[in-house]
Amino acid sequence: MLALYRKYRPAKFSELIGQDTIRDTLLSEVANKMIAHAYLFIGPRGTGKTSTARILAAAVNCERPKGGEPCGACSRCGAIRAGRYLDLIEIDAASQTGVDNVRENIIESARFIPQAGPYKIYILDEAHMLSASAWNALLKTLEEPPPGVIFVFATTESRKIPDTILSRCQQFRFRPVEHEVLKKRLVSIARAESIKVDEEVFDEVALRAGGYVRDAESLLGQLFSLGGKFVTWKDAQGILERSSLMSVSAFLKTLLKGNVENAFQQLNELQEEGVDVPRFTLDLLEALRAMHYRAITGDNHPLYIRRHGKAGIAMIGEMLKFQHDPIVLRKALGIIIDQMDKSREAPSDLVLEIIAGDLAHHFSASSGSRGNSDDSEDRTPPSVPSIPLTAQKDGNQAKNNPTPAIKAKETEAKAEPILEISADESAESKLESKKHNPVGITLGKVKELWETVIEKVHKKNHALPFVLKFAEPLEVQANQVRLGCKYQFHHDRLINKDNRLIVEQALSEVLGSPTVIKIEFVKAPVTLPNPEDAAFDKMVNLFGGKVVEG
């Protein structure tokens, strides 16, 4: 019985999946008879490089081609599909790496005209394995090939191909196939085999294959070997074990809740099931990356869509219900990366345990739970009650709400929704209406609650918090807060009318009183290194310099 990836190997360009640009380009070249003498197919395993090379060989030699497609019915197409076409020479460069192999198999035979058709095709698989001397020997033939000779080099590592070869080839990059496209391919194979398969099984096989068609077809063939005409999810679990996406989802949800004990228990269960710990750690990092991307942009990460499809998108949406603050998620990404970098020599399961503990602690602190942590650095400062902004034409002022000491209970009791600030109301007019009515706001108070202001701004504008990170409260006068920006770009963004109103509204909510801002551009002072600093001294000695006072 043939393996599925051999039985269903594409025989025409139209049967290739996930490589639309490559397919269309090659079809056009063959149809217009603008065929190159050398091609380089680059890409990971199981994405169709060798299959495409064989289709190209059939297309250029077909007796009855149709718009660049091989007919698949003539004697030449049949011979190429069966692997007995005389003018199709496939060479495994991994086992024939030397100069003698290249001279005997390519250079000498290329001088003879094709025997069975118009073109003689050489397909070198794993071409990066050829030695430097073998490439040099082949260079002259590749530079001035005999008539009717086409070279196709397939490789997973293009960086190992000499530049002199690269410059003489048309290069095509094959990419992993998208989840949904790969899933459709598996469904069509099961239909052709007259075997019914649960939807969950297709999803999981495509997910585990990671975009590699051959891996997916091999795994599906393994499931078909269970026998019978129906493969259920329960039957498949014996081979597939637990879904990697389900495992990451359950584990990440526990971490987001700050429950380190349950996280460790889940890790023990995963290891007993034989989970690939390094791969699981990378999957966890990938999920947090997708959460961070979506929290900032509002869109799904394109790589995550490609790899995990609809199930992955739904999982990320579910996780964001527990934590959607990009600052918190970015710190979580840093925790994983730092720990993986510092613990390269440590056992992978120990590294994952440390990461789990750190992430649970981080998320617990960030959500305001004291949990097992005394570190208050990541905790969100409590906000103050807000009062509605009212426009009174008769000159009467709304009563101020002094809040020198902020308490959580008072916040719950007194908090009132703040009205939207009209875009037509200028900061100057608001300042004029309040300048004789100071609210007791201090610079220290503004700095203390600045992170809370940034968090509130993020809910209305995802990009603005990054600008506010480079703005510093300089002075408070009555209900006016003066902000300084060290860079012109950030100053220009903040003086924008819409952006300024968003910041003013957030400040008003947090401080509990109508507040306006004044943005100034403050040039950053140039800080010279301390001559007594050891690193500075080492740098001076290294370059033979000296300190000049002036």
Q: Does residue 290 sit in the same domain as residue 166?
A: no
Nearest to 150 by CA among 228, 12, 39: 39
Burial of residue 426 (CB within 10 Å: 0-12, 13-18, 19+) is middle
Please report, for residues 288, 355, 372, 428, the alpha-carbon distance to residue 251 in angstroms, rounded to integers and kept in the order given: 12, 12, 19, 52
Exposure string over 435-450, b if 16+ CB within 10 A, otherwise e? eeeebbbeeebbeebb
Q: Does residue 147 sit in the same domain as residue 198?
A: no
Q: Does residue 118 sit in the same domain as residue 254?
A: no
- Three-state secondary-structure class, residue 515: coil
Domain presence at residue 169: yes
Q: Does residue 297 sit in the same domain as residue 328?
A: yes
Tokens of 158: 């293009």
CATH number of the domain encompassing residue 83 = 3.40.50.300
Q: Does residue 123 sit in the same domain as residue 194?
A: no
Q: Does residue 50 sit in the same domain as residue 126?
A: yes
Residue 116 is given by DSSP the state S
What CA–CA distance (Å, rounded) separates 199 from 197? 6
What CA–CA distance (Å, rounded) separates 136 from 131? 9
Q: Does residue 162 sit in the same domain as residue 183?
A: no
CATH number of the domain encompassing residue 449 = 3.30.300.180
- Three-state secondary-structure class, residue 378: coil
Q: Does residue 139 sit in the same domain as residue 197?
A: no
Q: Could you list the pLDDT tens digit for every one of the 550 residues in the chain?
A: 678 989 999 999 999 999 999 999 999 999 999 999 999 999 998 999 999 999 999 999 999 999 899 998 999 999 999 889 999 999 988 887 788 888 888 888 888 888 888 999 999 999 999 988 899 989 988 988 888 999 999 999 989 999 999 999 999 999 989 888 999 999 999 999 999 998 888 888 888 887 899 999 999 999 998 877 888 888 887 777 555 778 888 999 999 998 888 999 988 888 877 777 888 888 899 999 999 999 999 888 888 887 777 888 888 999 999 888 999 999 999 999 988 888 777 888 888 989 999 999 899 888 754 333 333 333 333 333 333 333 333 444 434 444 433 344 444 434 444 333 333 444 444 444 444 444 467 888 888 888 888 888 887 777 788 778 878 888 888 788 888 887 777 787 788 888 888 888 888 888 888 888 888 887 655 444 555 555 556 555 655 566 655 4
Nearest to 368 by CA among 509, 257, 449, 250: 257
- DSSP secondary structure, 224-287, as one string: HTT-SSEE-HHHHHHHH-S-HHHHHHHHHHHHHTT-HHHHHHHHHHHHHTT--HHHHHHHHHHH
Instruction: State residue 17's pLDDT score.
Output: 93
Q: Does residue 147 sit in the same domain as residue 13?
A: yes
Domain presence at residue 129: yes
- Three-state secondary-structure class, residue 151: strand
Instruction: State residue 545's pLDDT score.
Output: 61
Do 527 and 521 contact (CB within 8 A), yes or no? no
Q: Does residue 146 sit in the same domain as residue 208?
A: no
CATH number of the domain encompassing residue 225 = 1.10.8.60
Please report, for residues 122, 132, 133, 140, 505, the alpha-carbon distance to residue 100 in angstroms, rounded to integers and kept in the order given: 16, 13, 10, 15, 77
CATH number of the domain encompassing residue 297 = 1.20.272.10
What CA–CA distance (Å, rounded) separates 10 from 2? 14
Domain presence at residue 530: no
What CA–CA distance (Å, rounded) separates 219 from 62? 33
Domain presence at residue 545: no
Please report, for residues 201, 420, 473, 514, the alpha-carbon distance to residue 435 in angstroms, rounded to integers and kept in the order given: 68, 21, 19, 11
Q: Does residue 187 sit in the same domain as residue 250?
A: no
At which residue do the structure tokens 């809370």 appear? 452
Domain presence at residue 271: yes
Domain presence at residue 537: no
Which of 306, 332, 366 delimits the end of a domain? Answer: 366
Beta-carbon contacts of 171 under 8 Å, excluding residues fewer than 6 positions away, are: 39, 40, 42, 158
**Which structural domain, as residue segments, surrounds residue 218?**
179-240
Instruction: State residue 153's pLDDT score.
Output: 95
What CA–CA distance (Å, rounded) separates 235 from 243? 14
Q: What share of the chain is helix, strand, coil (3-state, %, to 5)?
A: 50, 10, 40
Domain presence at residue 206: yes
Which of 147, 173, 199 delimits the end of a domain? Answer: 173
Beta-carbon contacts of 357 under 8 Å, excluding residues fewer than 6 positions away, are: 260, 263, 264
Domain presence at residue 166: yes
Q: Side chain identity at 6, as an amino acid letter?
A: R
Report the greatest alpha carbon distance in the chain: 102
Nearest to 511 by CA among 542, 480, 541, 485: 480
Half-sphere exposure of residue 177: CA atoms within 13 angstroms, side-chain side = 28
Instruction: State residue 274's pLDDT score.
Output: 73
Half-sphere exposure of residue 341: CA atoms within 13 angstroms, side-chain side = 6
Specify the number of domains making up the chain. 4
Which of 120, 145, 173 delimits the end of a domain? Answer: 173
What CA–CA distance (Å, rounded) separates 163 from 424? 62
Q: Does residue 109 sit in the same domain as residue 35?
A: yes
Laid out side by side, the sheet with 120-125 consists of 88-92, 120-125, 149-155, 38-42, 170-173
What CA–CA distance (Å, rounded) separates 144 from 523? 62
What CA–CA distance (Å, rounded) separates 521 from 467? 13
